[in-house]
């Protein structure tokens, strides 16, 4: 037997031994994105993105007229966590908590100080919603295979939902201001905290990343109005409504 045939025989023997020794993947694992041993009971998702309040009415109109603030001044980083519990094959109950906060510097629009320098302030706005929602999937998230396997969908799964709850908010303005009665400049800060009801609607899509992990993109509109504290007694209710867009990563369990 020549050297080439011996090498070929040795390579074939090694390959056969590897096939016999190494475990063979289960059928569910060799097809599509893999499988779980049961349909998921729920999921835990972390979402991050941006939020833009409508910033209309009091006190935002006053800020826009007297300070160098606009609607875009309140665009905020938005982070939220969702705990979803499946109540049907295409329906979840979702418990959520989030936070969105912005900080914007500004100046008095029509005034300068005695040194012809800007009269400056800083405004922060924070919103913290805690809500309960119903989330409905417009196509199946996966399918059962026999009694012991569940295979997730291989494509995008759109969903819609609605819910409500409570929203904590805080607005805080500090810096230098002009007394319109005698045009003197003074330093002060104004703040208001409140808790109000909120309602929202949302829509998005999920993309499976294997049997257990999922990525989502979601748009949400929230409605909320709240009264203001004594520091803003001359204003009416503050509109906290706005739109947010987030990207999430979730794990099924």
Question: How does pLDDT run across 123-151, given as a tens digit for each residue?
Answer: 999 999 999 999 999 999 988 787 778 78
* Residue 38 bridge partners (DSSP): none
E-strand ranges in the chain read 42-53, 76-88, 91-112, 118-137, 142-145, 149-152, 157-178, 185-209, 213-226, 238-239, 242-252
Encode pLDDT of 160-212 as tens digits.
999 999 999 999 999 999 999 999 999 999 999 999 999 999 999 999 998 88
Does the pLDDT at position 8 exceed 60? no
Q: What is the mean pLDDT of the chain?
A: 87
Cβ-contact 131, 93 below 8 angstroms: no
C-alpha span between 31 and 27 (Å, rounded): 7
Question: Which domains, and CATH codes, for the chain?
Answer: 30-252 (2.40.160.20)
Evaluated on CA atoms 35, 36, 41, 43, the torsion sign reads negative
Does the pLDDT at position 10 exceed 70? no
Among 215, 55, 181, 38, residue whose Cα is nearest residue 127? 55
């Amino acid at each position: 037997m020549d050297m080439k045939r011996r090498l070929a025989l040795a390579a074939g023997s090694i390959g056969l031994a590897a096939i016999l020794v190494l475990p063979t993947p289960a059928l569910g694992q060799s097809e599509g994105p893999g499988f779980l041993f049961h349909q998921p009971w729920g999921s835990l998702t972390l979402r991050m993105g941006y939020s833009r309040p409508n910033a209309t009415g009091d006190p935002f109109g006053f800020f826009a007229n007297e300070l160098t603030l606009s609607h875009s001044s309140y665009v905020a980083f938005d982070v939220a966590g969702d705990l979803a519990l499946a109540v049907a094959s295409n329906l979840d109950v979702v418990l959520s908590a989030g936070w969105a906060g912005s900080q914007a510097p500004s100046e008095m629009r029509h005034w300068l100080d005695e040194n012809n320098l800007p009269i400056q302030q800083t405004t922060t706005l924070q919103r913290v919603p805690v809500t309960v929602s119903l989330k409905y999937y417009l196509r199946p998230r996966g399918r059962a295979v026999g009694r012991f396997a569940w295979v997730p969908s291989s494509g995008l799964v759109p969903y819609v939902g609605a819910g409500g709850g409570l929203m904590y908010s805080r607005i805080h303005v500090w810096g230098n201001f002009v007394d319109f009665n005698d045009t003197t400049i003074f330093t002060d800060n104004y703040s208001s905290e409140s808790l109000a009801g909120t309602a929202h609607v949302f829509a998005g899509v999920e993309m499976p990343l294997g049997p257990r992990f999922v990525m989502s993109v979601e748009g949400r509109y929230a409605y909320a109005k709240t009264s203001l504290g004594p520091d803003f007694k001359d204003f009416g209710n503050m509109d906290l409504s706005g739109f947010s867009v987030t990207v999430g990563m979730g794990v099924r369990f």
